Structure 1
């Protein structure tokens, strides 16, 4: 005889969160996750009657993205949660009531953006303690609710409101920033250009604030970072401050930090099996000769570890030149990544603009027509032409983006005798070249993806990993 105290649920169930005013949400029961998680965007913590609270928005039904709810809950605190893809995120934790069928009990949940996931909620194993039995062979044991309950809720409204966007940059007058502002304003969003060199932060207990020119900045719905190497250290600190406040970013601070460290980038690409030129790094001058020999000798590309392709890179045409440059860099206490210099097949490399995991635009980078042009000519001096990458090149560029957890970046490829290789990933590249050569609205594509990141776009579904 079955134990009457045991309440059975399937591998997925419809449930209600009555204290949040959510009549029905389909949850995946995940015994591999310790903490339950709920889809949320525009997460704003606050204090009320001496208690820590949090307000957030969500789209409870993937099939009805026009439904937008705003909820409030008691805030337990913040906790680092590692997702199934290995990315660690600092999340707000709330405590509320959960109900499946006639069974109601208190649970804790983390808030995170699940806009691209099939399930807007995961029910972790902590929430299953106390008499819940999971039948992994069945689905929705406790029935399917009438979703028309959403039609009459007073706090439900269509998700067609402008967003407050923080555009973090150290170059507020650049053409790239101008195009991003144009794209944001074209969609009726409020673009706040935050010069990272003039912003400052405050931390008072658990209260975090951001200031510019002596004034407290408003709460932001999302952050759009466009940071050059010289602005990176403090710019990432500001971005982490916003993320701690619950603001979703186009490219996260963790992803940007990895992408701007060339060695870290190379290590992540290698871990995911992304093809790249042979690479080495040494810290001691007496290692230079052996390192150069390991990489097959000159020509070699030498890159300062932090920065993009056009800054801090040089091609050494001879072994003697490579050794000389390395010794000079060691003397300046600069760390240099040494990479096999790959001659481009056909004299052209590819620059692929990726948004999400999709290719938005691609140009070929032709060497200058000058007969004096050498391998060390920067990309800025080369001729850009619209190009069409192969299926394999698209796959490799998308794989590089996934390896670095980036949402928008330029992936540079070179066509070698052994196939396409990734030579650089730049999250702060000037995308105007793609608009000029192809006529594409690249800025609009970036803003559209940012909207989906914060739960504003129609979005798409994919299976949870």
Structure 2
């Protein structure tokens, strides 16, 4: 097969691993920067032009679209879809997962457990917002944040009020969530491929850090998920229509609680923690789907 990885950085671990595993299985693989693609819209003949050629020979794509280029990146994915090319994540599913509010609304309706969450339109009544999620401490998140950026722990009402006022002043959209104390700065990442969990790790934030992101100095270890955690991960992927994704959740006294679903999960941390070949699982999923 001719497989294209849509990525702006060919040196990223995830991109390199996908190339490596695809080539081992005798596929032709290209890494293409989606921002350098021209989308040509013509009656009954959608096409994509890249550098000096038309990409009319592609069988499958693997989108590795960064959050900062979501709009154009998804436009390129959508054009490949119009051309009949298989993708491991549809443009609509990527957009849906990037919209934290929309995805939480969908997941909540589907009966998936999550921390109590409030979204408000620049509300000045901070006290009421805090009461909705059970009081302080609370987590305040930018709707567009990634890798733990734009996430603040407000331990008191005064702190929460200051943070919300600062974000309001910047006209930044935020959600407020209850703080799950018993999680102790750790979360779980389940990697789903073709509707099944192929690897899971527990990420622990460094001492004094409530965020567990590996990019922020956290550590990761392999973990065996219980039946409720497996069910949550697989259901979340199904609800958002993402055959390949990372599902982040917290362990709480009332069972697993979903944090978010990542449509382009990194492979480095989970392959290192689990010693499982996640990249190969993704390539074999493409083979089964074509």
TM-score range normalised by the length of the shorter chain: over 0.9
Counterpart in the other structure of 1:396: 232
When residues 410 and 377 of structure 1 are mapped into structure 2, their CA distance, relative to the original with a 3 A threshold, is closer
1:314/1:376 contact within 8 Å kept: no
2:183/2:252 contact within 8 Å kept: yes
Counterpart in the other structure of 2:117: 279
Q: Secondary structure at the match of 1:359?
A: strand
Q: From 268, 271, 280, give the equivalent of 1:432.
A: 268
Q: Please report how far the alpha carbon of residue 347 of structure 1 lies from its aligned counterpart in structure 2 after TM superposition.
A: 5.6
Q: Please report how far the alpha carbon of residue 437 of structure 1 lies from its aligned counterpart in structure 2 after TM superposition.
A: 1.9
2: CA distance, partners of 1:385 / 1:206? 50
1:363/1:385 contact within 8 Å kept: yes
2: CA distance, partners of 1:448 / 1:286? 51
Q: From 397, 407, 430, give the equivalent of 2:243.
A: 407
When residues 321 and 378 of structure 1 are mapped into structure 2, their CA distance, relative to the original with a 3 A threshold, is farther
1:362/1:386 contact within 8 Å kept: yes
1: CA distance, partners of 2:132 / 2:227? 32
* Structure 2 counterparts to residues 69-218 of structure 1, below 5 A: 163-218=1-56
1: CA distance, partners of 2:211 / 2:198? 28
2: CA distance, partners of 1:443 / 1:396? 22
Higher RCO, 1 or 2 (CA under 8 Å, sep at least 6)?
2
1: CA distance, partners of 2:167 / 2:91? 28
Q: Please report how far the alpha carbon of residue 399 of structure 1 lies from its aligned counterpart in structure 2 after TM superposition.
A: 0.9
2: CA distance, partners of 1:248 / 1:307? 29
1:280/1:291 contact within 8 Å kept: yes
Q: Over residues 271-312 of structure 1, what are the superposed CA-to-partner deviations in whole Å (9 max), with x where a residue is unaligned?
A: 110100001111223243322221122222222223434333
Q: Please report how far the alpha carbon of residue 242 of structure 1 lies from its aligned counterpart in structure 2 after TM superposition.
A: 0.7
Counterpart in the other structure of 2:173: 335
Q: From 249, 266, 275, give the equivalent of 2:87.
A: 249
Larger Rg: 1
1:170/1:231 contact within 8 Å kept: no
2: CA distance, partners of 1:254 / 1:210? 19
Q: Please report how far the alpha carbon of residue 190 of structure 1 lies from its aligned counterpart in structure 2 after TM superposition.
A: 1.4
2: CA distance, partners of 1:305 / 1:328? 15
When residues 307 and 332 of structure 1 are mapped into structure 2, their CA distance, relative to the original with a 3 A threshold, is same
Q: From 96, 102, 105, give the equivalent of 1:267.
A: 105
Q: Please report how far the alpha carbon of residue 316 of structure 1 lies from its aligned counterpart in structure 2 after TM superposition.
A: 1.9
Counterpart in the other structure of 1:386: 222
Q: From 431, 443, 449, give the equivalent of 2:279.
A: 443
2:13/2:267 contact within 8 Å kept: no
The number of residue pairs the alignment matches comes to: 289
Counterpart in the other structure of 1:233: 71
Q: Secondary structure at the match of 1:266?
A: helix
Structural RMSD (CA): 1.8
Q: TM (normalized to structure 1)?
A: 0.59
| Structure 1 residue runs of 4 or more that deviate by more than 6 Å after TM superposition | none
Structure 1 alignment gaps of length 5 or more: 1-162, 455-465
2: CA distance, partners of 1:261 / 1:309? 15
1: CA distance, partners of 2:111 / 2:212? 29
1: CA distance, partners of 2:184 / 2:224? 14
Structure 2 alignment gaps of length 5 or more: none
Structure with the bigger percentage of strand: 1
Structure with the bigger percentage of helix: 2
Counterpart in the other structure of 2:209: 374
2: CA distance, partners of 1:330 / 1:346? 29
Q: Over residues 400-436 of structure 1, what are the superposed CA-to-partner deviations in whole Å (9 max), with x where a residue is unaligned?
A: 1111111111111111111111112112221221211
